Every structure is written in C-alpha cells, then in structure tokens.
Amino acid sequence: MKIKFSTYRIKLNHSFGISRSSHDYYDIVYFYLVDENIVGRGEAAPSNRYNESTDYILSVLKNGVSLPENFEDNKDLWRRIKPQLMGIHALEAAVNMAIWDWWGQKENKAVYDILNLDVRTLPRTSYTIAIGDMKELDEKIELSSPYSILKVKLGTQKNDKEIIRKIRLKTDKVIRVDANEGWDFDMAKEMSYWLADRNVEFIEQPFSANNLKDTASLRGISPLPLYADENSISSTDISGIKGVFDGINIKLMKCGGIDEALMMINIAKSLQMKIMLGCMIESSVGITAAAQLAGEVDAVDLDGNLLINNDPYTGVTIVDGRLKLSSKNIGMGLSLIDQREGLL
C-alpha cells in the first residue's frame, strides 16, 4: 500500500460569503491509499476558522506519514496513522474516509453496510444561499429551485432582513438561518422573533463560540431552536453545550472523520439533542463520505459539491431533493470523472 496526495482548486458558482469572510474558490487536498488495483479516496477541506490550511496539511504529508507493515483491520490502521497527523482535523477526515473507502472496496462492501447504517431513505438536504452581491440573490434563489429547504447565511449587520424579505418574495420554502457568529445579543433577540414569523426552522451559531452566556440567555427567550456549529467541533464539546443549544452541526472536516462523527451522533442522541450533518465547501469525495451517516441525523446540509462548478468526482446523488446512495456501492461509491494529472 502507498500514500499519494494531490491539491485541487474547487471553484464556486458564486462568491461564497459568510459573516466573517468571502471566497471564490477553495484549495483542498485529496489523499489516496493505493493498494494494487484499489484506491481509497479522502478529501481535506481545511478552514482558517480552526487554524488549519492546505499549506499546513501539505507540510505534514510531505514530511511523511508512515504506513504500518502489519495491521489487523481498518480500525487498527486508523489508530496507527492518526497520531502522525498533528491534530489537523481536516487531514484526519481525509485519511479516515480514505481508509474506510479502501476497506470497503477490499471487503467488497459499501461503507454504510460495514457500519450497519440504513441509507434506504435519506433526508432532504438544504441548499445554501450565501452572503454576496444582492444583485445575484435572484439567481441564487433560482439555482435553489430543486431543493425544498434553504440554508441562508446571515450576520451582515445591515442586510439580514432584506435578504430574507427578497427570498420570501420568491418562495415560501423552509429556511434554516446560519449567522456564523455574526450577531450581538440585541440583534439575535430581535431576529429570532422576526424570523419565527417567516417559516424559519432554526438558527445556527448566533454568537461567537466563546459567548455561551448570551447563547444560554437567547435560548431562554428565542421562539426558534439554536444549533451549534463553531461550538460543536468534536465529541468532547457536546456535554458542555447541553442546555445552551438545542442541536449540533457535525462536519467531518471539523471533527476528523467518520469514526468521530459517529461518536458525536451517539453522544448527542444520548443527551436528546438534535443533530444536523453539515459540510464545508467540498467536492463529492467529502460529501459522499458524510452521506454514509445521513440516515442517523435529524437534518442534512450536504450541499458543498452543489455549489461548485468543477467537481472531479461523482458519488452521492440528489433525487427529489433527497440524498441517494446506490445500493450497488462498493466502498464509498466514488468515481473519477476528471482525468487530470494527480487525481486518482
């Protein structure tokens, strides 16, 4: 078995803005485990918000990640590799999903079957309308037409209500709002009541992650549930936010892969918290890895690959707004459609 990796620039259909930044593209890293005729694929889509970058990931990979000569199974292989990854969660996610993809192909089984997960009827994914040029909003709403749920990025301080008003002139679809730590308490209090009258399902991460005091106060008065994103990075975070948030957003790139995400799901369920499965801007590799778990959660926001125009892979599909994994999948069920050098 050999390790290979490659960088790739994924390009967005529109500038993708949130409360603290805006991007036209993201540089990601593909990680491959090559074992004779089997290629296990993984994707790292790092976020500066968590002090991770493509350059940092490449430096670790170029310095060398050693594969053990002997190991019992995929979980043993993961235990031996993980300590070498410098705690970079996006890199951990890439390696972890590549191991699962390789193991599934080796065993001639789908990853979801190995994990004994039911994927027959998966949830509908939301489609994100990001902060950007207000002149492009109508076009974004039109692109969202195949999807019955919208995730709307707010936290602009000045245009939040205008964004929702313009969307409501076009559609009455359910909206999930994500402020990405962009509000202060007065704004959040006002917006929670205002949004509740406009068919909004919940609010995600209204305040900075270090402001649990205001979050708890808002939860006491908000007519809408609150979901944690930046406050729910990994399994160790969840017990500390019980009673502050109603639900959590799990992302493979935040937590470090499929195994850790499953642990988060189990903990959240034990605490009777709602669970959303989300993503960064990713290609079909990362989205398909997350989709293996989609039957275990309450809400899904796996649209990163829908927002880009140069996805080099195919995997999970969307049928009538719902995620769909083929019953014939082996491994994660990925196929390469762009044969450019470096991609496997």
Q: Does the domain made of 2-108 have the CATH classification 1.10.240.10?
A: no
Q: Per-residue pLDDT tens for 9-46?
A: 999 999 999 998 999 999 999 999 999 999 999 999 99
pLDDT, average across residues 59-63: 97
What residue segments make up the domains of the chain, in order of their start? 2-108, 126-336
Q: Per-residue pLDDT tens for 133-143?
A: 999 999 999 99
Contacts of 213 (CB under 8 A, 6+ apart): none
Residue 68 pLDDT level (bands cut at 50, 70, 90) = very high
Kindly tell me if the per-residue pLDDT of 158 is higher than 90. Answer: no
Question: Edge to edge, what strands does the sheet with 2-17 contain?
Answer: 2-17, 22-35, 38-44
Nearest-angstrom CA–CA distance, 203 and 199: 12
Average pLDDT score, the chain: 97
pLDDT confidence of residue 339: 87
Nearest-angstrom CA–CA distance, 325 and 250: 20
Residue 112 pLDDT level (bands cut at 50, 70, 90) = very high
Residue 341 pLDDT level (bands cut at 50, 70, 90) = confident
Q: Per-residue pLDDT tens for 239-287?
A: 999 999 999 999 999 999 999 999 999 999 999 999 999 999 999 999 9
Q: Is the distance from CB of 67 to CB of 74 less than 8 angstroms? A: no
Percent of the chain surpassing pLDDT 90: 96
Nearest-angstrom CA–CA distance, 82 and 275: 26
pLDDT confidence of residue 340: 86
Type of residue numbered 143: L
Fold of 126-336: TIM Barrel (3.20.20)
**Tally of CB atoms within 10 A around 9:** 12
Kindly tell me if the per-residue pLDDT of 314 is higher than 90. Answer: yes
